[in-house]
């Protein structure tokens, strides 16, 4: 028997059309809001840089631990209700992060953030893959573009709140209710069946057979994106001695081109195919990163990071679309490998930068893009 989140009548087609985009954009806003307030949260609990890295590590560990939670929800409720449950839990965790009074409590809250965010991520990609199968159209790239836009909006709002001296707890409380209402409305309008998904009961999900290459692409892609997010600004400061105002522009250039490319990615997929786009895009990313490393000044380097964002933009939408078409177990397995890449990437780059310099570290990320191109060219499930 369906409750208040039951499927809507067929006539609400227009509302249904916007439900999944809202779900993806909300995820971006939530995660961007969290990322934008990390400095303020660290300052409030007086955490050192070394301890902050341990706090952030808790998020990655939580993501890796999330498979039993997401599999239980998908098996019990299906993708649509899982989205609502995970989304409301994620918003509650965000508020608890803002209120965490000590480092141990902040670490616990961030661990829960990893679990709830990963569960929401798997459910929304499963819903998007189900929609693609029902309609026969490709829209995963556009949806990931909206998540990217939401992330930029959330981070910008975080900067604005910080500038107004509004503490993270108040900021997250102000966000909580309107985002929860938007999520509830979007989940009510989502036009996918509430059928429970057949998901294996395991502690961890690892891809098998042909799915291994998709998982490897997710791992390498998230390793690259995470490394650029965390270290591109540091590279500009260390190599070109730019100020604090210009350093974040590397990530901004990378993110904006990624967003723009994702908005047209689905049309390009129909024309050229996913495998060719991911392969050629990864080669373009490698060229951009190598150009940034060898640039004569910071402005040319920004152009290199913009090209890298363009090149890596379609990897995740098409990998998750291909994995989702194989079912929720395959999707969760690829997501697990992707999150482990997010976990491992930035520390590896940090170690390389410490021993052989920042230039070599960013060059290493360019090398990862070449490996992505090779793996993508061999991945038959990318169509």
Segment 53-106, tens digit of pLDDT: 778 778 888 888 888 888 888 888 888 899 999 999 999 999 999 999 999 999
Whether residue 205 is predicted with pLDDT greater than 60 in this model: the reply is no
Q: What is the pTM of this model?
A: 0.82
Q: Based on the number of CB atoms within 10 Å of its own CB, is 14 exposed (0-12), middle (13-18) or buried (19 or more)?
A: exposed
Torsional sign, CA 302, 57, 85, 131 = positive
Whether residue 135 is predicted with pLDDT greater than 90 in this model: the reply is no
Whether residue 10 is predicted with pLDDT greater than 80 in this model: the reply is no
pLDDT of the residue at 6 = 45
- How far is residue 323's CA from residue 129's CA, in Å, rounded to a whole number? 8
Q: With left for phi above 0 and alpha for psi between -120 and 50, is residue 16 left, alpha or beta? A: alpha
Taking residues 195-215, report their average pLDDT.
Answer: 66
**Residues of the chain with pLDDT > 90: what percent?**
48
* Token pair in block for residue 98: 């803002």
Q: Based on the number of CB atoms within 10 Å of its own CB, is 167 exposed (0-12), middle (13-18) or buried (19 or more)?
A: middle
- How far is residue 76's CA from residue 79's CA, in Å, rounded to a whole number? 9
Check: CB of residue 210 under 8 Å from CB of residue 381.
Answer: yes
Whether residue 11 is predicted with pLDDT greater than 70 in this model: the reply is no
pLDDT of the residue at 194 = 63
Give buried/exposed letters for 317-331 (b at 16+ CB in 10 A, else e).
bbbbbbbbebbbbbb
* Token pair in block for residue 194: 């509430």
- How far is residue 318's CA from residue 241's CA, in Å, rounded to a whole number? 37
Check: CB of residue 75 under 8 Å from CB of residue 199.
Answer: yes
- How far is residue 166's CA from residue 96's CA, in Å, rounded to a whole number? 16
**Residues of the chain with pLDDT > 70: what percent?**
91
Residues 6 or more apart from 52 whose CB is under 8 A from it?
38, 42
Kind plus residue range of the DSSP H or E element containing 335:
helix 328-356
So what CATH class is 211-377?
mainly alpha
Domain boundaries along the sequence of the chain: 13-189, 211-377
Taking residues 110-121, report their average pLDDT.
Answer: 92
Check: CB of residue 288 under 8 Å from CB of residue 311.
Answer: yes
Local structure of residue 92 (DSSP, 8 states) = H
Check: CB of residue 319 under 8 Å from CB of residue 216.
Answer: no
pLDDT of the residue at 218 = 94
Segment 185-200, tens digit of pLDDT: 999 888 776 665 555 5
Q: Which of 34-43, 147-156, 262-271, 353-362 has the least mean pLDDT?
A: 34-43
Whether residue 7 is predicted with pLDDT greater than 50 in this model: the reply is no
Q: Which CATH number fits domain 13-189: 1.20.1250.20, 3.30.420.40, 3.40.30.10, 2.70.98.10?
A: 1.20.1250.20
Whether residue 311 is predicted with pLDDT greater than 60 in this model: the reply is yes
- How far is residue 302's CA from residue 250's CA, in Å, rounded to a whole number? 5
Q: Where are the beta strands (DSSP E) in the chain?
A: none
Check: CB of residue 214 under 8 Å from CB of residue 322.
Answer: yes
């Amino acid at each position: 028997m369906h409750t208040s989140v039951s499927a809507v009548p067929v006539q609400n087609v227009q509302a249904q059309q916007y439900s999944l985009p809202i779900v993806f954009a909300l995820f971006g806003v939530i995660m961007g809001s969290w990322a934008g307030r990390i400095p303020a949260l660290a300052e409030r609990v007086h955490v050192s840089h070394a301890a902050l890295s341990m706090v952030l590590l808790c998020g990655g560990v939580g993501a890796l631990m999330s498979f039993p939670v997401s599999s239980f929800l998908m098996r019990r409720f299906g993708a649509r209700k899982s989205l609502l449950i995970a989304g409301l839990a994620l918003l509650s965790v965000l508020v608890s992060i803002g209120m965490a009074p000590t480092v141990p409590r902040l670490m616990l809250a961030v661990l829960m953030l990893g679990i709830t965010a990963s569960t929401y991520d798997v459910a929304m990609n499963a819903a998007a893959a189900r929609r693609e199968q029902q309609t026969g159209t490709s829209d995963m790239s556009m949806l990931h573009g909206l998540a990217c836009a939401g992330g930029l909006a959330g981070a910008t709002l975080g900067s604005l709140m910080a500038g107004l001296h509004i503490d993270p707890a108040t900021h997250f409380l102000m966000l909580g209710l309107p985002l929860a209402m938007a999520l509830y409305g979007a989940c009510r309008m989502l036009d996918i069946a509430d059928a429970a998904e057949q998901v294996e009961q395991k502690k961890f999900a690892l891809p098998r057979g042909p799915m291994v290459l998709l998982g490897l692409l997710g791992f390498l892609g998230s390793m690259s994106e995470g490394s650029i997010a965390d270290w591109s600004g540091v590279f500009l400061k260390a190599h070109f001695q730019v100020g604090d105002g210009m350093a974040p522009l590397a990530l901004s250039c990378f993110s904006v081109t990624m967003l723009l490319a994702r908005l047209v990615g689905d049309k390009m997929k129909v024309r050229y195919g996913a495998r060719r786009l991911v392969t050629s895009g990864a080669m373009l990313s490698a060229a951009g990163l190598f150009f940034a490393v060898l640039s004569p000044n910071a402005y040319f380097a920004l152009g290199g990071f913009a090209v890298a964002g363009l090149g890596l933009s379609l990897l995740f939408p098409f990998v998750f679309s291909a994995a989702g078409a194989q079912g929720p177990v395959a999707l969760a397995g690829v997501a697990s490998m992707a999150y482990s890449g997010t976990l491992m990437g930035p520390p590896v780059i940090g170690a390389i930068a410490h021993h052989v310099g920042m230039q070599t570290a960013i060059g290493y990320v360019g090398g990862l893009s070449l490996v992505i191109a090779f793996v993508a060219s061999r991945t038959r499930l990318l169509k």
